[in-house]
Structure 1
Amino acid sequence: MDHRTAPAPAPPVRAAARSRTRRDGTPRIERLCHATGALLIGSGLLHLFVLAVDGGPWEGPVSWRKPITFGVSFGPTLLAVVWISSYLRMGARLRAVLLGVFAADCVLEVAGITVQAWRGVPSHFNMETPFDTAVSMSLAFGGAVLVAVLSTLTAAAFARRPDGPAGMALALRAGFAILGVGLLSGAAMIARGVYLTRTGHQLAGYASTAPLKPLHGVSLHAVLVLPVLARVLDTTSWSTRTRLRAVRTAVGAYALAVAAALVWAAATY
């Protein structure tokens, strides 16, 4: 009679994966980021209603435009970063930490701008009172944190080939590279504005950001537009070669748009 004990069945692969997923907390941070992004978008749309009721200028350092545009910009950006980071080959814990820091920083940026809009004072380059200075410096610090997080994601995109359908790796790498131009232009705007403000030229500080705004705006969104294109192309019946060619064409067109914005900034700065 054979008294050998039969080996215990191995746990299902899917169950083990779910256990690891629960342990590293990634789904929880994704849900938190999705809720935060939705709230930021809602805040921007709410202030669009406030503008319609209260009125006031669209341009200028004191305008309801700022909480509107920052809310509807940071919200989708946060949602996009959650999505595109899922294609990057990096540790789950590191990704969760980066997403958490990025979400908190997005809230900090939008909250600071919104508070100052309701107070009727400029949010950036405002050193009139200790509170205004604290808000202005926190926004500048938040910008530095955004740069650090996005630079880490950029390094991950280039360190190991991203996953995804045909053209996604190119779309992500090109998007992150163009994003770097947006981050540099944003840093240049902050540095120039702070310098002029601290040397007694506050109005000039506000005006100094205008030439770089188109370059900043266009280059920031490449990291969303190009991967979305690659994902949409994956739903078509086109061949892999055709989809890759379409992504390459889009990358070239986007690079030309960024170059045009850069030329315009140099000509009007």
Structure 2
Amino acid sequence: MRDVLAGAWNRGRRIERFCHGLGVVLICAGLFHLLVFSVDGGPWYGPVSWRKPATFGSSFGLTLVTVAWVASYLPIGERRRAALLGVFAADCVVEVGGITLQAWRHVPSHLNRETAFDSAVSTVLAAGGAVLVVVLGVLAGTAFRANPGVPASMRLGLRAGFVSLMIGLATGAAMIARGTAEVGAGHQRQAYHDLGFLKPVHGVSLHGVLVLPALAWLSSRTSWDEPRRTRVVAIAAAGYGLATAAALAYSLLR
């Protein structure tokens, strides 16, 4: 495995290595804030807690590493690839940075209009979310283009994974939209309470873009033939879809 990872790093494009390195930094930042929480304490849930920089840092870092990896299988020009991954990497830093800044200031990061500065941070985070949707939407669309150089099992894993990721982005946008509407109606406290109403399905669906392509990659290291590998990925994709549906039902009914 060490040789495989070293080979992938050495063969990787410069932008991919940059994203992988930056992703590791963001993951470490998330783990650092988990340590801060263990020392400083405080609530785990709520709009002001160390949970947010811990989970967002880890999740954004893992997603950045994942997207840079899966993008290497997509039929896309080198300049366009570098531009999309570069924008995505910068956006990940902005999102994690804004959330982390507000955590250290002990104020909410999202939907916070208490001061001009807080409002500016919230606006930047919301705009960053829109950029994520656009960039990842372009990559998702590219995954559905014909690419005969990639095995059928990996193509299926990529497509199902990106569909799962887009569900995660859609649920994230829905949570922000609901919170924004409640803030606009003058219900600031209620907005913080309701902001995470789709959090279970959001968390499950976001990382399908890692789980399913990773399964396809792992199956390629076995002695199975390609039809069997494709069937295994198809079954896993169906199972992941059921898990996402179950998480959605739980999110709406709890």
**TM-score normalised by the chain length of structure 1:** 0.87
- Kept in 2, the 8 Å contact 1:211–1:264? The answer is no
Instruction: Give how far 1:246 is off.
Output: 0.7
2:138 counterpart residue number:
152
2:233 counterpart residue number:
247
Residue among 41, 57, 60 paired with 2:43: 57
Q: Secondary structure at the match of 1:211?
A: coil
1:231 maps to 2:217: yes
Residue among 54, 70, 74 paired with 2:56: 70
Instruction: Give how far 1:55 is off.
Output: 1.1
Residue among 105, 109, 127 paired with 1:123: 109
**Bigger shift: 149-158 or 199-208?**
199-208
Structure 1's unaligned 5+ residue stretches are 1-25
Q: Distance in 2 between matches of 1:191 and 1:32?
A: 33
% identity of equivalent residues: 59
Q: Secondary structure at the match of 2:198?
A: helix
Q: Distance in 1 between matches of 2:253 and 2:149?
A: 40
Instruction: Give how far 1:203 is off.
Output: 1.5
Offset from partner CA, 1:152-190 (integer Å, 9 cap, x none): 001111123374344100011111112221111111101
**Bigger shift: 65-74 or 163-172?**
163-172
Q: Distance in 2 between matches of 1:162 and 1:192?
A: 42
1:38 counterpart residue number:
24
Instruction: Give how far 1:120 is off.
Output: 0.4
1:201 counterpart residue number:
187
Q: Distance in 2 between matches of 1:150 and 1:162?
A: 22
Number of residue-to-residue matches in the alignment:
243
Q: Distance in 1 between matches of 2:228 and 2:123?
A: 48
**TM-score normalised by the chain length of structure 2:** 0.92
Offset from partner CA, 1:229-259 (integer Å, 9 cap, x none): 0000111112222211111110110010111
Instruction: Give how far 1:40 is off.
Output: 0.5
Instruction: Give how far 1:31 is off.
Output: 2.5
Counterpart of 1:161, as a letter, is N
Q: Distance in 1 between matches of 2:214 and 2:71?
A: 13
1:167 counterpart residue number:
153
- Kept in 2, the 8 Å contact 1:45–1:68? The answer is yes
1:135 maps to 2:121: yes
Q: Distance in 2 between matches of 1:224 and 1:163?
A: 20
Structure 2's unaligned 5+ residue stretches are 1-11
- Kept in 2, the 8 Å contact 1:108–1:139? The answer is yes
1:110 maps to 2:79: no
Offset from partner CA, 1:64-117 (integer Å, 9 cap, x none): 000000111000100100000000001111000000000000000000000000
1:220 counterpart residue number:
206
